[in-house]
Amino acid sequence: MPEPVRISFLGGLGEIGRNCAAVEVGGRIMILDCGLMFPDAEMPGVDLVLPDFSYLRSNADRIEGCVLTHGHEDHTGALAYLLEDLKLPRGRPMTVLGSALTLGLARNRVDEAGLGSSVEWVPVVDGQRIGVGPFDLEFIPVTHSVPHGFAVAFHTPQGVVLHTGDFKLDLSPVDGRLTDLARIGGLGSGPGIRLLLSDSTNAEEPGHSRSETAVGAVLRNIFAANPTKRIITTCFASHIHRIQQIADAAIGNGRTIATLGRSMGKNVALARDLGLLTLPQSSLVDIEAVASLPPERTCIISTGSQGETMSALSLMASGESKWLQVGSGDVVVLSSHAIPGNESAVSKVIDGLYRRGAEVVHAGTQEVHTSGHAKSGELQTMLAVARPECFVPVHGEFRHLTNHATIALSMGVQSRNVLLCEDGDVVSLSDDGIDFAGEVPATYCYVDGIVGGVSHGVLRDRRVLSEEGVVVVVMAIEVRTGEVVSGPELITRGWLHADEVGRMLEDAKPAILAAVKAAAAKGTSDLESFRRVLRSTVGRLVQERTKRRPMIVPVLLEA
Specify the DSSP class assigned to residue 131. E
Residue 151 and residue 99: Cα distance in Å, rounded?
Answer: 11
Residue 215 and residue 361: Cα distance in Å, rounded?
Answer: 13
Spatial CB neighbours of 296, under 8 Å, sequence gap ≥ 6 = 227, 228, 229, 230
User: Quick one: CA dihedral 455, 51, 41, 313, positive or negative?
Assistant: positive
- 264 phi and psi angles, rounded to 5 deg: -65, -45
Report the DSSP beta bridge partners of residue 159. Answer: 156
Helices and strands (H and E) in the chain: how many = 15, 25
User: Quick one: CA dihedral 422, 184, 63, 69, positive or negative?
Assistant: negative
- 448 phi and psi angles, rounded to 5 deg: -120, 105
Set 208, 373, 395, 400: catalytic member: 373
The CB density around residue 548, as the number of other CB atoms within 10 Å, is 13
Report the DSSP beta bridge partners of residue 34. Answer: 20
Has 362 been annotated as catalytic?
no
Has 373 been annotated as catalytic?
yes
The CB density around residue 485, as the number of other CB atoms within 10 Å, is 11
Residue 158 and residue 296: Cα distance in Å, rounded?
Answer: 61
Residue 125 and residue 470: Cα distance in Å, rounded?
Answer: 57
Spatial CB neighbours of 286, under 8 Å, sequence gap ≥ 6 = 258
Residue 5 and residue 392: Cα distance in Å, rounded?
Answer: 14
- 481: Cα separation from own chain's centroid: 55
The CB density around residue 36, as the number of other CB atoms within 10 Å, is 26
Task: Mark out the alpha helices in 274-371 (DSSP H runs).
Answer: 312-317, 343-355
Spatial CB neighbours of 209, under 8 Å, sequence gap ≥ 6 = 168, 169, 170, 202, 370, 371, 372, 373, 374, 375, 378
Report the DSSP beta bridge partners of residue 439. Answer: 425
Q: Do residues 333 and 222 touch, judged by C-beta distance below 8 A?
A: yes
Spatial CB neighbours of 207, under 8 Å, sequence gap ≥ 6 = 375, 376, 377
Q: Do residues 246 and 235 touch, judged by C-beta distance below 8 A?
A: yes
Set 52, 199, 330, 423: catalytic member: 199
Q: Which residues are catalytic?
A: 199, 373
